């Protein structure tokens, strides 16, 4: 039996083909917003159709004037229950937009509110192509291929079946480095992250969800291009930075930031995405696969901190414990 999401994505493609798409909104909260924002980045680069990523409640309350029958709104919530994102689906649907919900639970409120559902598997032992990144990238490059057909996108869709083996090989490749980072930084109460382009959202996610939420470590995800316009003054010999050196056109921004940070801080960890394993991926497609690989690699840096601080990533003081 073919996985569910293939037929679901085909339905989305048909719906999008029937509309003169004027804009695309990516709407979610926290880590889900960060994941979707990779799409915002690629659409900026690849399409003349405008896109915007917004946190769900800002989307509803700002009430963008461009939202309407020619809009595509992609929403995501892991459980499909995030109240703001469910409301955003209702809001966008009432405006006549094509609404697409991404979640692990097809029966969730979000999937019920949105017109289209795209389901992904989670921790059930299935291949990465059917997991959150595989499914989202399948959706994204399928949409790109509908809106601006290109043989490149077909190759991306084809090579996504390498994700499973690349996740495994890259986890092995970075395990020791990541756990050493955790060991060296276990006493740190603040760690800055930095990145640009598609990777900025990885830094944002690492800062918000892994450092602040799961590890209670203070942080701020600084854009490599913005670093020199204020934030760099905080740099000092003992200020820790975790910097993503991206694979893609904004890499020179990261290189410049790393070069400066390394001059004045003795604690700069560089995660170089070009050094990862890309076996089976065409050279010209690496910039699309880098962001897909970065997440699993960064997760190991959080695992390393968790191991050495003795602070499990599952501990919360507020989330799931009370109404807010």
Report the interface residues with its own copies, using CB under 8 A: 22-23, 29-33, 41, 44-50, 52, 55-58, 61-66, 68, 82, 84, 190, 196-197, 207-209, 212-214, 216, 218-221, 223, 225-226, 228-235, 249-250, 252-253, 256, 260, 264, 316-319, 324
- The C-alpha torsion from 254 through 255 and 260 to 264, rounded to 10°, is 90
313 exposure class (CB count in 10 Å sphere: 0-12, 13-18, 19+): middle
Cα gap 294→317, rounded to integer Å = 28
Q: Which is nearer to its own copies, 43 or 281 (CB)?
A: 43
Q: Which is nearer to its own copies, 3 or 231 (CB)?
A: 231
Locate all alpha helices (DSSP H) within the chain, ordered by sequence: 4-17, 30-46, 56-62, 83-94, 109-113, 132-147, 151-159, 163-184, 200-205, 215, 251-264, 286-309
Closer to its own copies by Cβ: residue 32 or 142: 32
Handedness of CA 145, 146, 149, 151 (dihedral sign): positive
Min. distance of Cβ 97 from its own copies in angstroms?
13
Find the shortest distance in angstroms from Cβ 57 to its own copies. Answer: 4
Least distance from its own copies to the Cβ atom of residue 162, Å: 26
Q: Which is nearer to its own copies, 253 or 292 (CB)?
A: 253
Compare residues 137 and 199 and give the one whose CB is closer to its own copies.
199
Minimum CB separation from its own copies for residue 279, in Å?
Answer: 27
The residue (of 171 and 286) whose beta carbon lies closer to its own copies is 286
Task: Report in angstroms how near the CB of residue 143 gets to its own copies at its nearest.
Answer: 15
DSSP-derived 3-state class of residue 272: strand
User: Do 41 and 94 touch, CB atoms closer than 8 A?
Assistant: no
Helix (H, G, I), strand (E, B) or coil at 212: helix
The CA R_g of the chain, rounded to the nearest whole Å, is 19
Interatomic CA distance for residues 245 and 255, integer angstroms:
7
**CA dist., res. 216 & res. 17, Å (int):** 45
Checking DSSP bridges between strand 192-195 and strand 241-245, what pairing results, if any? parallel
Q: Where are the alpha helices (DSSP H) in 235-285?
A: 251-264
Structure-block tokens of residue 123 = 């921790």
Helix 132-147 / helix 286-309 crossing angle, nearest 10 deg: 160
CB 246, min distance to its own copies, A: 10
Q: Minimum distance between the CB of residue 287 and its own copies, rounded to whole angstroms?
A: 11
* Contact (CB, 8 A) for 96 and 80: no
Judged by beta carbon, residue 175 or residue 260, the one nearer its own copies is 260
Q: Which is nearer to its own copies, 235 or 300 (CB)?
A: 235
Smallest distance, its own copies to C-beta of residue 17, A:
20
């Amino acid at each position: 039996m073919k996985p569910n999401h293939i037929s679901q994505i085909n339905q989305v493609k048909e719906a999008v083909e029937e509309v003169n798409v004027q804009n695309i909104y990516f709407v979610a909260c926290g880590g889900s917003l960060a994941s979707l924002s990779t799409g915002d980045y690629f659409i900026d680069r690849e399409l003349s159709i405008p896109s915007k990523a917004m946190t769900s409640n800002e989307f509803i309350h700002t009430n963008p004037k461009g939202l309407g029958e020619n809009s595509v709104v992609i929403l995501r919530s892991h459980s499909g229950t995030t109240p703001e994102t469910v409301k955003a689906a209702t809001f966008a649907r009432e405006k006549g937009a094509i609404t697409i919900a991404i979640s692990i639970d097809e029966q969730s409120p979000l999937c019920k509110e949105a017109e289209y559902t795209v389901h992904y598997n989670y921790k059930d032992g299935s291949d990465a192509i059917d997991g959150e990144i595989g499914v989202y990238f399948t959706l994204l490059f399928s949409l790109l291929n509908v809106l601006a057909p290109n043989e490149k996108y077909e190759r991306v869709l084809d090579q996504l079946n390498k994700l499973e083996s690349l996740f495994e090989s890259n986890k092995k490749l970075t395990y020791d480095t990541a756990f050493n980072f955790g060991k060296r930084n276990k006493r740190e109460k603040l760690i800055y992250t930095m990145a640009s382009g598609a990777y900025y959202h990885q830094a944002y996610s690492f800062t918000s969800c892994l450092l602040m939420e799961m590890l209670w470590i203070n942080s701020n995800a600084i854009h490599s291009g913005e670093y020199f316009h204020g934030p760099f003054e905080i740099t000092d010999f003992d200020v820790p930075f975790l910097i993503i050196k991206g694979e893609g056109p904004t890499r020179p921004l990261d290189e410049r930031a790393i070069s400066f940070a390394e001059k004045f801080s003795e604690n700069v960890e560089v995660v170089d995405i070009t050094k990862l394993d890309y076996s089976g991926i065409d050279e010209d497609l690496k910039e699309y696969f880098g962001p897909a690989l970065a997440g699993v690699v960064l997760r190991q840096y959080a695992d390393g901190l968790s191991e050495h601080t003795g602070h499990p990533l599952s501990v919360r003081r507020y989330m799931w414990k009370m109404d807010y």
